[in-house]
Amino acid sequence: MLIYAGEARLLCAQAANSSLFEVSATQSWFGTRVDLLAQHESIQACKQAFYEAFREMARLEKLFGAEMPESEMRQINQQAGHTPVKVSAETLGLIKRAAEYAQKFSVALEVAAQPREELGGARRGLPNTKPELMRNAACRALADYAEIIIDERDTTIAFKHADLQLALGDIVRGYAIDRAAAILKQQGIKNFLITADGDIYAAGRKDENQKWRVGIQHPRHPNALMASFDLSDGAVATNSAYDLYGANNDQRDPAPPCQSVSVLAASAEEAEAWAAYLFAIGFEAYKKIATPQTPAALFVDADGRIHWEAVWEKNYRLKFWD
Amino acid sequence: MNRRNFLKNLSLLGLSWAIAPVWTFAAERTVAPEDFCLNLIIDDSASAIPLLEKLLARHLPAEKNLKFAEYPLRGSHLADFVLIENRRVVDYRNVDEELAKGVYEVAKNLGLPKKVDNPVLLKFYTEARPRLVQTLNILGNDILIKRLSLTDAAGAQQSENAGGRMTLVIRNKSAQITNAPCRHQTCRQIITAAGQNPVCIFPQLRRSREGKEESNFDGVTF
């Protein structure tokens, strides 16, 4: 059962006679909240499309949830260090892309394998699992993507090391958002916004005069926004120190290289991967690797200074708040 | 509608308000004279929604922003409309006004009033400007248990469902779960970590925040 809250905007006289309704739905997924928001002339059509999108996300939760009884991810983890596990092309494809991101970025992203002990920490709900992965050299070595054996011909996944487990956390959220977006488009919904735990994908526009308006949360003040921008036909993901470390961010040693980074990309999966990577390396390192092909990023560095490219203002109407 | 039925509907609406006290606006909110709200309790929303879409598109001025919400209700209810205009309940069956007549036609079409089990509450409403108030929805197994205004309902609040009792403290327009009926206490950690949008999966209790800030964002990345 979904909860819908919508807003209808009646078009002006020269527009079509039909009215557009703004309909939204909320559902929990993988322990977080997912919001779908759409502009459409039919509330019922939105409800049907939302139902299909949430059903797809529920399917992915069953497929990729490390704790789901029948998930392929659970089977891979149970057989770590022992037997290759036959998986679906979809699972193989996502793990392969995750490993490729890890290889491309040369850091131990959480998309790669996590040591079993660390994953246990995450299961118990202990904070700071992800940052520890980044910092601990031993963990970094263990979490090497090279530990994953991907056999594309036999469609099997295996781990070289018995102490490793897969947790596709953020990357699977990005993938699920992209799948939900594809479902909504298939269902004829052209103007919509998907939000899942701070990751956002926008398609079309809010109305004929305005794109979807997105706020960026302040990394030190979770109840405040520091900026806003317009988004259409693309995704944004943010990694922030507050989200990862909580309020005691200042006491960490070493301090994170930046307070937060927001990344714009064509897909939510890509935005997620880049946000994790750029948060790990910080703004100074980003300046050295940035090319015209690198996704646009907005950094709040460790000292609280904000850095962004001109494209944010030119194409996305970036505005800062006091 | 005779007086008995009208009063019965009003008491029914009172029940809805007990579940959904949406009228607890904060002092800073400007009361809009054009406030409009059409509530419908119905077991067949698929039939009702298209009729209401047409009706409201025909009768509401173009500059009005009409919001829509749908909530499942538990138990036996009397299915009927309650129309509120200018913050006053309108006896739509006995008022000579175009929108009220339209509502009456839809009510006849749907065979209202009638007794229904486990219906939904459909709500179409307008506001003069984006609301400053945020309302807290507490849901158990996706059933709306309680709605609280974050500004009016300061202090500790408790909600209960089959999964157990949850305690949350409201202060400074935000809510913090201080006790959950499970050993995981995940919702408390989620609030602390993310600052908003907590979901407690284990006892099937969750909460969502409703309403938009004046800045009118469609989403927030964090």
Q: What is the pLDDT of residues A136-170, one digit of tens each?
A: 333 343 455 667 889 999 999 988 877 777 777 68
Q: What is the pLDDT of residue A181?
A: 98
Q: What is the pLDDT of residues A98-108, one digit of tens each?
A: 888 877 776 54
> Is-contact B141 B148, C-beta < 8 A?
no
The verdict on a CB contact (< 8 Å) between B68 and A10 is no
Q: What is the pLDDT of residues B111-127, one digit of tens each?
A: 999 999 988 888 787 75
The verdict on a CB contact (< 8 Å) between B219 and A212 is yes
> Tokens representing B195?
């600052």
Q: Cα–Cα distance between B117 and B5 in angstroms, integer?
A: 19
Residues 6 or more apart whose CB falls under 8 angstroms from that of A9 comprise: A19, A20, A21, A22, A39, A207, B65
Strands (E), A76-233: 85-86, 113-115, 148-151, 156-159, 164-166, 191-196, 199-203, 212-217, 225-231
Average pLDDT of chain A, as a whole number: 79
A-facing residues of B in 107-136 (CB < 8 A) are 124
Residue A180 pLDDT level (bands cut at 50, 70, 90): very high
Average pLDDT of chain B, as a whole number: 63
Helix (H, G, I), strand (E, B) or coil at B116: strand
Cα dihedral angle (A300, A304, A310, A313), rounded to 10 degrees?
Answer: 90
Q: What is the pLDDT of residues A252-281, one digit of tens each?
A: 555 678 899 999 999 999 999 899 889 888
The verdict on a CB contact (< 8 Å) between A222 and B196 is yes
pLDDT above 70: residue B1? no
Q: What is the pLDDT of residue A28?
A: 81
Residues 6 or more apart whose CB falls under 8 angstroms from that of B11 comprise: none
pLDDT above 70: residue A118? no
Please name the residue of chain B whose CA is at the shortest distance from the CA of residue A32: B199
Q: What is the pLDDT of residue A78?
A: 87
> Is-contact B73 B119, C-beta < 8 A?
yes
Cα dihedral angle (B97, B98, B101, B105), rounded to 10 degrees?
Answer: 180
The verdict on a CB contact (< 8 Å) between B53 and A32 is no
Please name the residue of chain B whose CA is at the shortest distance from the CA of residue A321: B215
pLDDT above 70: residue B95? yes
Please name the residue of chain A whose CA is at the shortest distance from the CA of residue B59: A10
Query: What's the ipTM?
Result: 0.76
pLDDT higher at A14 or A314: A314
Q: What is the pLDDT of residue A128?
A: 34
> Is-contact B72 B144, C-beta < 8 A?
yes
> Is-contact A296 A309, C-beta < 8 A?
yes
Residue A120 pLDDT level (bands cut at 50, 70, 90): very low
Q: What is the pLDDT of residue B58?
A: 85
> Is-contact A74 A67, C-beta < 8 A?
yes
Cut 0.90: pTM above it: no
Cis peptide before A257 (omega within 30 of 0): no
The verdict on a CB contact (< 8 Å) between A222 and B66 is no
> Is-contact A10 B62, C-beta < 8 A?
yes
The verdict on a CB contact (< 8 Å) between A8 and B139 is no
- Which one of A7, A37, A47, A316 makes the best mutation probe of the B interface by having the most chain B beta carbons within 10 Å? A7
Closest by CA to A110, choosing from A130, A84, A95, is: A130
* B65-69: average pLDDT: 70
Closest by CA to A32, choosing from A194, A183, A178, is: A194
Please name the residue of chain B whose CA is at the shortest distance from the CA of residue A12: B62
User: Tokens 């939760």 sit at which residue?
Assistant: A61
* β-pair type (B65-72, B120-126): antiparallel
> Tokens representing A298?
């907005």
Return the amino acid letter for A132: E
Q: What is the pLDDT of residue B119?
A: 86
Among the partner-chain residues A44, A193, A200, the one whose CB lies closest to the CB of B49 is: A44
**Rounded percentage of chain A residues whose pLDDT exceeds 90:** 36
Residue B9 pLDDT level (bands cut at 50, 70, 90): very low
